[in-house]
Amino acid sequence: MLAVTFFNPDASSLLSFPVFLGVAIALLLAMEFGYRIGRWHQKIGRGSIKEFVGIIDAPILALLGLLIGFTFFGAAERFERRRDLIVEETNHIGTAYLRLDLLRPEDCDTLRVLFKEYLDSRIQTYAVLPDVKAALKEYERTQQFQSEIWTRSVEAAQKTGTSYAAIQLVPALNAMIDITTTRLAVTQFHPPRIVFVMLAILSLIAALLAGYQMSTAARRSWFHVSLFVLTFTLAVYVILDLEYPRLGLIRVDAADALLRDLRSSWGP
């Protein structure tokens, strides 16, 4: 089935609290490991740590900053695209519904009932997420409505005796149906997994280097350690939250209000 390709049932686990607690602990352990290595190097007299700070640390931290920046920008751009598609679908459905007036009254009334059920299904498909099974089941129902609306609309347009109704209604129906596939496809548009793996590795390396540099101080500053861990953990969370806006705190659900408002305007 087409929909299976587009929904990722494993994505919800990425935004769970245990995952980000694990990220914070991993960063903390990396800093501690770096701190202990630095202390050990000083103890055995391996030279001044400050000699290597600018040579090694700066390029790695710059690369990490660049990766975070590009990943965040891409996630934010895709987030906006998903919201724009909701607006676009609302317009397509509204246009197709209005053009039903070109049909005979008896056919128009029947199709309006189908359109209301169809829009209810579209709203429900995304409302049930992150329950992927329920979303896929509702999407199957949506496809059934699409098939029935298309068949009945074509037949009704032919009954009008002119080609004007078909010329106006068929393109609107095409756009209304096509946008559902586009929205499903966009939900799967994410950076390659290697990007996230590289982000995780560079974050751990940065934490290790930060701990290594901290070893030159007389004692550790837990305030700075906490700030470092919190900053990187939040950065990773926000990026993933933008990538999966139906699962976390940053959501596109507010844009769904446009579909609900359209449905309300049609009456019960």
pLDDT, tens digit (0-9, with 9 covering 90-100), for 94-138: 999 999 999 999 999 999 999 999 999 999 998 887 777 888 899
Q: Best-predicted range by mean pLDDT among 143-157, 219-233, 243-257?
A: 143-157
Q: How many helices (H) and strands (E) does the chain have?
A: 11, 0
What is the full DSSP assignment across 8-41?
-TTHHHHTSHHHHHHHHHHHHHHHHHHHHHHHHH
Nearest to 135 by CA among 259, 12, 237: 12
Share of the chain above pLDDT 70, in %: 90
Whole-prediction pTM: 0.80
CB-based contacts of 107: which residues, under 8 Å, 6+ apart? Answer: 152, 155, 156, 159
What lies within 8 Å, CB to CB, of 226 at 6+ separation is none
Residue 162: DSSP 8-state: S
If DSSP states are collapsed to H, E and C, what string results for 119-152?
Answer: HHHHHHHHHCCCCHHHHHHHHHHHHHHHHHHHHH
> What does the domain layout of the chain look like in residue ranges?
14-265
